Structure 1
Amino acid sequence: MSRPNAQSMKPATAAKKLDVYLPATPEEFQANAITRDELAALQADPPQWLKDLRKNGPHPKNLVAAKLGVSIAGLTRGGVTEALTTEQIDAVLADKPDWLVAERESYQNVLAEERRLKALRAEKTR
């Protein structure tokens, strides 16, 4: 990887842009700044480690929440504080614990309210 400069980013930023869990990335990725060109290359032609992370995890909280259909706060309320693998996410979905059912319903209500407010704002601007 490269040295930090104005055109590079911290590994945490690059991991976020790649939608991967930083502690699960290779040491070389974690230890070095990533240039925009290197990030683009990783996105265009992902190496095997990146393909494996995206497929099997562990996944960052934002992806775990999206796969479970809840908010990140809902994950925390449900006791999920660590990154989960795809297998663990599938197990939670199959088990359907009470917290997941409640958080999914709550999250859908929030999304519906956000859509309603957006439509109301759009109507007012006409």
Structure 2
Amino acid sequence: MTSHQTAQTMKPATAAKKLGVYLEATPADFREGVVSRAELNALQTEPPAWLEELRRNGPHPRPVVAAKLGVSIAGLARGGVTEALTTEQIESLKNDNPDWLQRERATQAEVRKEAARIKKRNAEREAQDS
């Protein structure tokens, strides 16, 4: 009996997430098909013009928007940002620096500070236990 190895495929939404792009902004043939692991690797190593353009100018999915603004996804929602934004819109938000963005950035900074404190404490405990 010969085993046939099938190519691993994923839905376009999964591939878009892995590529860090907003699915609705991708070309129709990308959205309507399936993406193999080999195709995904090819897109990552040698991105076509449409992918480079999306990564550069957007619209960007919420995780990318949140990272570019330095806030959490929940912070975006609290600020009323529920849709994908272009790079230009993100830069405009940064320049305007509304109150909600200032608050969410401060919250995110506190979260990171607390995470670092806990990591350090755990490392010290680990060293003592050794």
Structures share fold, TM-score greater than 0.5: yes
CA drift at 1:96: 0.4
Which amino acid is 2:68 matched to?
K
Q: Which aligned pairs between 1:61-72 and structure 2 lie closer than 5 A?
A: 61-72=62-73
* Corresponding residue for residue 76 of structure 2: 75
Which amino acid is 2:23 matched to?
L
* Corresponding residue for residue 34 of structure 2: 33
CA drift at 1:84: 0.2
| Cα distance in 2, alignment partners of residues 103 and 11 from structure 1 | 31
- Gap runs ≥5 in structure 1: none
| Cα distance in 2, alignment partners of residues 31 and 122 from structure 1 | 48
Which amino acid is 1:74 matched to?
G
| CA RMSD after TM alignment | 0.9
- SS in structure 2 opposite 1:125? helix
CA drift at 1:122: 1.0
| Cα distance in 1, alignment partners of residues 16 and 124 from structure 2 | 39
1:113 aligns with 2:114: yes
| Cα distance in 2, alignment partners of residues 71 and 19 from structure 1 | 16
Task: Number of aligned residue pairs: give it.
Answer: 122
TM-score normalised to the size of structure 1?
Answer: 0.94
- Gap runs ≥5 in structure 2: 1-5
Which amino acid is 1:73 matched to?
A
Q: Residue deviations 1:27-79, cap 9 Å, x none?
A: 10011110000001101111110000000000011110011010000000000
The structure with the largest alpha-carbon Rg is: 2
Query: Which runs of structure 1 show a deviation greater than 6 angstroms over 4 or more consecutive aligned residues?
Result: none
- SS in structure 2 opposite 1:64? helix
CA drift at 1:6: 5.7
Which amino acid is 1:105 matched to?
A
* Corresponding residue for residue 48 of structure 1: 49
Q: Residue deviations 1:84-119, cap 9 Å, x none?
A: 000000000000000000000011001100110011
| Cα distance in 2, alignment partners of residues 116 and 32 from structure 1 | 46
Which amino acid is 1:56 matched to?
N
